[in-house]
Amino acid sequence: MLKIAHIDVYYGDLQALWDVSLMVEEGEIVTLVGSNGAGKSTLMNTIAGLLKVRAGSIEFHGIRLDSLPAHSIVEHGISMVPEGRRIFPQMSVLENLEMGASIHAARKMRQKTLKEIYEVFPILGERAKQRAGTLSGGEQQMLAIGRALMSQPKGLLIDEMSLGLSPLVVQELSRVIQSINKANNLTIFVVEQDVPLALSMAHRGYVIENGRIIDQGDAKSLLCSARIKEAYLGTA
Amino acid sequence: MEIVCQTMANGLLVGALYGLVALGFALLMGVMKFLNTAHGTFIILGGYLSYWILELWGIDPFLSLPLVVMAMFLIGIVFYKLALSPLLKLPNIGMRINTSMLITFGSIWVLDNTMTLLWTPDVRSIMTSYTGQTLKLLGIRFSLTGLGGVGVAVLVALALYFILSGTYFGKHIRAATQDAVAASLCGINVQRTYLFSCGIAIALAGVAGMVVVSTYSISSTAGIGWLSSAFVVMVLAGEGNINAIIPAGMLLGLIESAGLLVVGVSYRQAIALIVFIIVLMIKPQGLFAKKEYGS
């Protein structure tokens, strides 16, 4: 269970998050939606340890994460698919996946995890030897997700998965994520600009605006709420 | 004919040493993107360590190599902590290369003068029972220390190749340089990875220093000359192409020897620098560079 309580985050003197609290239960898919610059990626990067909180706390399965560096947060079971995918372009697909299994616990299991990931994304198996920079955008996103799963996480953070991908690929990816969530009881926290997509994947959702959580609830009811319709779907 | 063969054979031996000299430099520049202009100076420091271990304790330089490697590794770690690690905060790789060039250039003067104070500006070289002895093969003479140098160079290059492409640690170095943020999100401790690899790079300078002091001589300010050899070899091999460093060094040695036969000894350095300029003009990605594909 991921529990974020009353965090404030700054870029230098500029406050980006105000008193943000949210909760993701074990095995749940929760999404955070909001417009550009609302603070979605800031929150993601803070959980992953790339940004520090000035106040408040972040806990995962009862362990405080908010003062740890990014690489040790992976060891506590949280793995992130970063915005823009950020695969290692000069390394092969297989080496990229191996990098995902860098922590000790995951290294021992890596052959087994690798097989599971090739089952989910067969194209990665076919292109194992190919340089990752030569993959298409959709394949790179699959690789980024696969790499994040290689560390055998208990919680997965996904930042802007749909960015720059065709609707067909996005549909396929969201199906895969839902099935991984069911099969492994994986806790998933998704940040997404594509609000209908995010709310169709998730169980629950939060709405962020100007660095503050302004709404939350069941994904279906959020999708129907007048406010969301007006702000993000343009169908008031 | 005999003199041609003999000169070429010498070129090969010297070339292996050029490769060895360039290895640590190319590791820091090609893989981690730190341009260490003090590399030649660290080679001299390694040479002094070998020299003093022989003078004080009578241990043969080839046997004391592990000791020198360990000492230089630790020096490399301190060097990284003091001089290079702050550069990771810079926003892009270009600034890291430029700033590291300035910082390491400053380090040259600190190290040079420290060595002059400690060990005087005298030229030092190592005399052992086998110094100057040769082995005759197919009518060509090979110096024993030169052959030892080749052996060390090849072994060290193979070890480095294995570390970089075969181990998790080596892949972590490459991953961290391609995208440090993504690497840390994979659970890679970027600072620690760089710390160790800088230690390895300076240890490689120590190995080269041992061979330099055994086959040639050293003085406290001779580092810059070896730096320029390292530069030329790295450009021949192609930046980041560590596996081609030893072959590229041997190629440079051969070109130099061929040049010596034609124009004479006094143009030795000029030949290397002309090769450097020609390669930069014609094939700046390096003679041994693989064809780039994709993005």
Name which of A49, A50, A90 is nearest B178 (Cβ-Cβ): A90
Residue A230 has pLDDT above 80, yes or no: no
Instruction: For residue B287, give how far its alpha carbon lies from the nearest alpha carbon of chain A (Å).
Output: 19
Region B57-63 average pLDDT: 89
Q: Within a 13 Å sphere around the CA of B97, how many CA atoms are in the beta-carbon half? A: 12
pLDDT at B294: 35
Instruction: For residue A92, give how far its alpha carbon lies from the nearest alpha carbon of chain B (Å).
Output: 11
pLDDT at B293: 40
Is residue B33 less than 8 Å (CB to CB) from chain A?
Answer: no
Residue A145 has pLDDT above 90, yes or no: yes
Does the distance separating the beta carbons of A87 and B168 come in below 8 Å? no
Chain B residues with CB under 8 Å of A88 CB are 174-175, 178-179, 182-183
Region B162-188 average pLDDT: 91
Instruction: Assess contact for B93 and B29: CB atoms under 8 A.
Output: no
Chain A residues with CB under 8 Å of B291 CB are none
Residue A115 has pLDDT above 50, yes or no: yes
Chain A residues with CB under 8 Å of B295 CB are 89, 133-134
Q: Which 3 state secondary structure label does DSSP give A191? A: strand
* Cα–Cα dist B220/B134, whole Å: 28
CA distances from residue B255 to A79, B87, B118, B258, B270 in whole angstroms, order as listed: 52, 37, 37, 5, 12
pLDDT band at B260; cut points 50, 70, 90: confident
pLDDT at A226: 66
One-letter identity of residue A154: K
Instruction: For residue A176, give how far its alpha carbon lies from the nearest alpha carbon of chain B (Å).
Output: 21
Beta bridge partners of A206: A32, A216
pLDDT band at A208; cut points 50, 70, 90: very high
Instruction: For residue B293, give how far its alpha carbon lies from the nearest alpha carbon of chain A (Å).
Output: 8
Closest CA to B4 of B258, B220, B290, B256: B258
Instruction: For residue B91, give how far its alpha carbon lies from the nearest alpha carbon of chain A (Å).
Output: 15
Lowest mean pLDDT segment, chosen from A211-220, B124-133, B277-286: B124-133
Of chain B, the percentage scoring pLDDT greater than 90 comes to 48
Closest CA to A17 of A206, A182, A219: A206
Please name the residues in contact with A167: beta carbons below 8 A apart, sequence gap of 6 or more.
none
Residues 43-102 of B with CB under 8 A from A: none
Residue A5, both tokens:
């309580």
Instruction: Assess contact for B124 and B49: CB atoms under 8 A.
Output: no
B215-233 pLDDT per residue, tens: 888 888 888 889 999 999 9
Instruction: Assess contact for A6 and A19: CB atoms under 8 A.
Output: yes
Instruction: Assess contact for A33 and A204: CB atoms under 8 A.
Output: no
Residue A107, both tokens:
């290294």
Residue A232 has pLDDT above 50, yes or no: yes
CA dihedral A199, A201, A203, A204 (to 10 degrees): -30
Does the distance separating the beta carbons of B294 and A133 come in below 8 Å? yes
pLDDT at A194: 86
Region B166-190 average pLDDT: 91
pLDDT at A121: 95
Region B105-126 average pLDDT: 89
Instruction: Assess contact for B230 and B242: CB atoms under 8 A.
Output: no
The percent helix, strand, coil of chain B (3-state, each to 5) is 75, 5, 20
pLDDT at B295: 33
Does the distance separating the beta carbons of A89 and B178 come in below 8 Å? yes
Instruction: For residue B185, give how far its alpha carbon lies from the nearest alpha carbon of chain A (Å).
Output: 6
* Cα–Cα dist A210/A4, whole Å: 18
DSSP A36: T
B206-219 pLDDT per residue, tens: 999 999 998 888 88
Residue B31 has pLDDT above 90, yes or no: no
pLDDT at B271: 86
Name which of B179, B187, B293 is nearest A88 (Cβ-Cβ): B179
Comparison of pLDDT for B285 and A189, the residue scoring more: A189
Name which of B181, B186, B294 is nearest A99 (Cβ-Cβ): B186
Q: Which 3 state secondary structure label does DSSP give A87? A: coil
Q: What is the pTM of this model?
A: 0.83
* Cα–Cα dist B193/B189, whole Å: 6
Q: Which of B32, B93, B186 to mutate to test the interface with A (most CBs of A within 10 A)?
A: B186
* Cα–Cα dist B124/B213, whole Å: 7
Secondary structure string (H, E, C) spanning A103-172: CHHHHHCHHHHHHHHHHHCHHHHHCCCCEHHHCCHHHHHHHHHHHHHCCCCCEEEEECCCCCCCHHHHHH
Instruction: Assess contact for B105 and B40: CB atoms under 8 A.
Output: no
Does the distance separating the beta carbons of B184 and A89 come in below 8 Å? no
Does the distance separating the beta carbons of B175 and A82 come in below 8 Å? no
Q: Which 3 state secondary structure label does DSSP give A92? A: strand
Is residue A165 less than 8 Å (CB to CB) from chain B?
Answer: no
pLDDT band at A235; cut points 50, 70, 90: low
Region A114-143 average pLDDT: 95
Instruction: For residue A134, give how far its alpha carbon lies from the nearest alpha carbon of chain B (Å).
Output: 5
Is residue A134 less than 8 Å (CB to CB) from chain B?
Answer: yes
Residue A85 has pLDDT above 80, yes or no: yes
A24-80 pLDDT per residue, tens: 999 999 999 988 888 999 999 999 999 999 999 999 999 999 999 999 999 999 999
Nearest CA in chain A to B184: A71
Name which of B168, B178, B187 is nearest A71 (Cβ-Cβ): B187
CB neighbourhood size of A155 (10 A): 21
A179-205 pLDDT per residue, tens: 999 998 999 999 988 888 999 999 999
CA distances from residue B184 to A65, A78, B16, B47, B180 in whole angstroms, order as listed: 15, 12, 37, 37, 6
Which strands, in side-by-side order, build the sheet including A29-33? A78-81, A155-159, A187-192, A29-33, A204-209, A212-218
B34-47 pLDDT per residue, tens: 999 999 999 999 99
Name which of B182, B189, B294 is nearest A86 (Cβ-Cβ): B182
